Amino acid sequence: MEPKIFKIIAIVIMMMAFSTATYGQNIKKQNETDIPILISQNFVNEYPNSKDVKWRGYSEEFLGVDWYDYNLSMNSTKPFQYYVVDFTTEKYQLKAIYEKTGKKIAVEGKIIFKLPTEIPSPFENSNYSGWKITNDMIIIYQNDPSDVTKVYKFRVEKGLLKHDLLYSSEGVLLKDNTIK
């Protein structure tokens, strides 16, 4: 009889551990009806033909110093200050970040091809010239894909060292974030 009790106790402990781990993931997918009306109106006005729309809410902990350097915090119990929407247009797969006031902060899109012509020379002449680019480049627009203000973000690795590099469209290194 005792081994059966131990099995039951072990199962209960495992269930509690899994439910606690799941509860701790506080990234919250939002229904469109839960998004503040001003944000959803601004989004629909800017991207009326968008598809595959998925919303998430975040607290203010992910606020970066610059509009192009936001770090989405996934473990927060604070009220949402920012809303992120992933969506697709005819030409792009994008992510837009809005403040709770409805103001758009930035738009990101993935690039799955080589570095833009402005970046290779400064990158190859930098401290990272022998490093490997390890993920798809993300292009970040201040407003939308037609905007000339763009930032290119990509990760480089060498051995155990990893950095996210952010370059302006003119090839200037704006930020070097060490990944721990």
Domain count, the chain: 1
Whether residue 10 is contained in a domain is answered as no
> Which pLDDT does position 17 carry in this prediction?
58
> Which pLDDT does position 26 carry in this prediction?
43
Whether residue 34 is contained in a domain is answered as yes
The amino acid present at 44, given as its one-letter code, is V
Whether residue 79 is contained in a domain is answered as yes
Instruction: Give me 21's structure tokens.
Output: 């781990």
* Dihedral class, residue 159 (left if φ above 0, else alpha if ψ from -120 to 50, else beta): left
> Which pLDDT does position 72 carry in this prediction?
47
Q: Of 81, 98, 2, nearest to 41 (Cα)? A: 98
Whether residue 81 is contained in a domain is answered as yes
Whether residue 132 is contained in a domain is answered as yes
Q: Within 13 A of 125's CA, how many CA atoms are on the CB side? A: 8
Largest CA distance in the chain: 73
Residue 55's domain spans which residues? 26-179
Rounded Cα distance between 129 and 12, Å, is: 53
Whether residue 175 is contained in a domain is answered as yes
Q: What is the mean pLDDT of each run of 10 residues along the chain (180 residues)?
A: 65 59 46 80 91 83 51 56 86 85 86 66 82 80 72 89 88 88
> Which pLDDT does position 77 carry in this prediction?
58
Whether residue 21 is contained in a domain is answered as no
> Which pLDDT does position 24 carry in this prediction?
41
Whether residue 40 is contained in a domain is answered as yes
**Which CATH number belongs to the domain containing residue 144 in this structure?**
3.10.450.360
> Which pLDDT does position 74 carry in this prediction?
47
Q: 10 Å Cβ neighbour count for 84?
A: 21
Sorted by sequence, the CB contacts under 8 Å of residue 36 that are 6+ apart come out as: 83, 100, 102
- CA 105, chain centre distance (Å): 13
